Amino acid sequence: MVAAMADEVRRAWRVAAILVFTVIPAGSASLTSGAATVPARDGLGFLCGTWAAVQGPRTIFEHWSPSRGGQRLGYTQTIVDGTVKTYETLRIDRRDGQLTLTASPSNQTTVSFALARQSEGEAVFINPDHDFPQQIAYRLRDGRLIAHIYRTAAPAAEPAASWQYDRVAPCH
């Protein structure tokens, strides 16, 4: 099990490298200049790193980069029997002064969610106009990243789905 998870982490890092190096625009600041990396001011540093949740035969990876140039990039992958079944690219940045999570799920339309609530180790994003989900919440509890998606943006809603991730690689 440990060897299989290590292989999955290596694959996840390869995908992360491809995503990161294909989304950095030409002409952006050199990575060695220090200009591309700024201290995180979004309060979401707790997301940073690679996380894994094992649910039966599937492993779900979620990876978040440090905030660079005012943008935090991420992705998720669901892997079953060594094959990627679903994936999603993620981005958190400021739009019109508002922190926004933009998700591009495999074979679906890109959608954005505005940060509605934030505290230490917690962030809740909502889009009441989206069909599903309307709310995405992240919480750091006892060193684990807990992610919930909700059918509605109502504060007292029950999660439609939840994931409990363990950190499998540090923030890079």
Segments forming the whole domain that contains residue 41? 2-23+37-169
Say which CATH number the domain at 162 has. Answer: 2.40.128.20
What pLDDT is recorded for position 25? 37
| Residue 124 lies inside a defined structural domain of this protein | yes
**pTM: predicted TM-score of the whole model, two decimal places:** 0.77
- Number of H helices and E strands in the chain, helices first, is 1, 10
The answer to whether residue 32 is domain-embedded is no
The 10 Å CB-count burial string (b at 16+, else e) for 82-100 is eeeeebbbbbbbeeeeebb
What are the structure tokens assigned to 9, written together? 């982490």
As for how many domains the chain has, the answer is 1
pLDDT tens, position by position, for the chain (172 residues)? 545 554 655 555 454 444 333 333 333 333 333 333 334 578 999 999 999 999 999 999 999 999 999 999 999 999 999 999 999 999 999 999 999 999 999 999 999 999 999 999 999 999 999 999 999 999 999 999 999 999 999 887 899 999 999 999 999 8
How many angstroms separate the Cα of 162 from the Cα of each of 50, 80, 138, 147? 17, 18, 10, 6
What pLDDT, on the 0 to 100 scale, is given for residue 144? Answer: 98
Helix, strand, or coil (residue 29): coil
DSSP state of 22: H
- Examine residue 30 and state whether it is found in any structural domain, yes or no: no
29 within a domain of the structure (yes/no): no
